[in-house]
Amino acid sequence: MTERAQSLGQVERLASSQTLHGSESLCKLLRYLAKHALDHPGTPLKEYQIATEVFGRQEDFDPQLDSMVRVQAGRLRSKLAEYYASEGTADPIWVELPKGTYVLSFRHGPPHAGRAHAGETHNGHHDVRGETVPGSQASRRWIYAVATLSVLLAVASVTIIVLLQSNRKRIETAEAGELPPAPAAVHIFWKGFVSGPEEPWVIFSNAAFAGRPDTGMRYYDPKRDTRAQVLDHYTGVGEVLAVHELDTVFSSLHQSIRVKRGSLFSLDDAKNNDLIFIGSPSENLSLRDIPSTQEFVFRQVPSGSRAGNMEIVNVHPQPHEPKEVLATAATQPLTEDYAVIALVKGLNPSRSVLILAGTTTMGTQAAVESVCRENSLEQLLLRLAVTRSGELGPFEALLHVKVARGVPVGSELIALRKR
């Protein structure tokens, strides 16, 4: 069998192993990297090439905004180390993905330590007579010393290999961002988003501004800013922290996310992908092009002292529920906000859309935290009467958020609708 055939056979052995069982995206990446390494030895690979050719990303894929390839490569390194530290210790070929590169390497496994056989001479024949020959006592002492040293060396070698594998596994696990197993409530809520054919898109808001950061910016007004250059690469603090929260919870579920700012979102992204929108429709304008909320709707206040401010309208208020809610006025320190959590069907009914939006960036952060943390998720699932995976269906929830010193410090579920 040729070296290439042996290497490809080892890759298939890895892909069918218990370690990589169920990790289709990692197996796909492994096979791609293996073929490239064997067909183009020594030729480096770019993140863009992997993202578009392996994971089907669009041509506008930006590695600076989307860390999906790095995360997947880190997960693969961790899985390879786990495999060779357990079920693959005796495999003839070891496959490695060195840190800092996307080029696989193949090497023959560590040789088995030779064993010294008592009474065996240099040419392999045993001395069965038991006779004493000149210098035999010194020879035996020398043989015993060599044998003892060989055993100690073999033990030391095995210990070093185990320690190196253990250390490599810890490093690569940290690099991959893997965390302790997620709580049951997290598994139940996020099952639909981690079991899809592709990683979900996280679309964060980036409103259109006029002006410049050094001279002052304001929201773009199409009536007065027709000749002004539009700035669409700024987002709120809450959105930034929200992406971090989602990345953390998906890492605990052994899945990655794809991140894109709202202005780059296209309807093609919505057709066959699960989507998570961060930010209200006033700043995440792409929300206006897809199925959105029906019970708790964002709109600008039409008149009065708060005219133009963003509010949430409770379309069918129940007894003791507010009809309209909005954050603290801009003339005062922000102490309260409101947010919506909504799970709806996408343009493709087989896909889901999750909307996490506040009337300000603080409300948006609180909405994301509510679906990423165990205690708040348990309360939400209890109100929805969901106890196990597969039961969660479309719903809309309205949150009241307390804010202190620019940080959401608590949220309360004040209205809930199943759809």
Residue that finishes a domain, picked among 108, 139, 166: 108
pLDDT tens for each residue of 363-385:
999 999 999 999 999 999 999 99
Backbone angles phi, psi at 167, to 5 degrees: -65, -40
Q: Apex CA 378: angle with CA 340 and CA 203, to 5°? A: 40
Residue that finishes a domain, picked among 108, 126, 141: 108
Q: What separation in angstroms does the CA of 249 have from each of 177, 277, 312?
A: 10, 16, 28
The answer to the question of residue 122 being in a domain is no
Q: Write the CATH number for 334.
A: 3.30.379.10
CA atoms in the 13 A half-sphere facing the CB of 135? 3
Closest CA to 53 of 75, 77, 36: 36
Q: Which residues, 6+ apart, have CB-to-CB distance to 234 below 8 Å?
A: 206, 207, 209, 213, 217
| Alpha carbon distance 245, 202 (integer Å) | 12
- Please report the pLDDT score of residue 376 as a whole number: 93
Query: Do 326 and 358 contact (CB within 8 A), yes or no?
Result: no
pLDDT tens for each residue of 256-299:
899 988 877 777 777 778 999 998 877 666 666 666 889 999 98
The answer to the question of residue 289 being in a domain is yes
The answer to the question of residue 162 being in a domain is no
The answer to the question of residue 156 being in a domain is no
Q: What separation in angstroms does the CA of 318 have from each of 310, 315, 322, 323, 413?
A: 22, 10, 8, 9, 14
Q: How deeply is 328 buried, as exposed, middle or buried, from its count of CB atoms within 10 A (0-12, 13-18, 19+)?
A: middle
| Alpha carbon distance 205, 278 (integer Å) | 6
Looking at per-residue pLDDT, the higher value among 14 and 214 belongs to 14
Q: Are both 190 and 70 inside the same structural domain?
A: no
The answer to the question of residue 143 being in a domain is no
Q: Are both 192 and 61 inside the same structural domain?
A: no
Q: Are both 388 and 287 inside the same structural domain?
A: yes
| Alpha carbon distance 345, 349 (integer Å) | 5
Q: Are both 257 and 393 inside the same structural domain?
A: yes
The residue count for the chain: 419
The answer to the question of residue 178 being in a domain is no
pLDDT tens for each residue of 81-115:
889 988 888 899 999 998 888 999 998 876 443 33
Q: Are both 274 and 409 inside the same structural domain?
A: yes
Query: Do 210 and 219 contact (CB within 8 A), yes or no?
Result: yes
Backbone angles phi, psi at 385, to 5 degrees: 60, 40
The answer to the question of residue 164 being in a domain is no
pLDDT tens for each residue of 107-122:
887 644 333 333 333 3
Residue that finishes a domain, picked among 108, 128, 146: 108
- Structural domain including 384 reads 184-418
Query: Do 298 and 359 contact (CB within 8 A), yes or no?
Result: yes
Q: Are both 200 and 338 inside the same structural domain?
A: yes
The answer to the question of residue 153 being in a domain is no
Mean pLDDT across the stretch 182-199? 89
Number of folded domains in the chain? Answer: 2
pLDDT tens for each residue of 40-63:
888 888 889 998 998 888 888 888
Q: Are both 228 and 360 inside the same structural domain?
A: yes
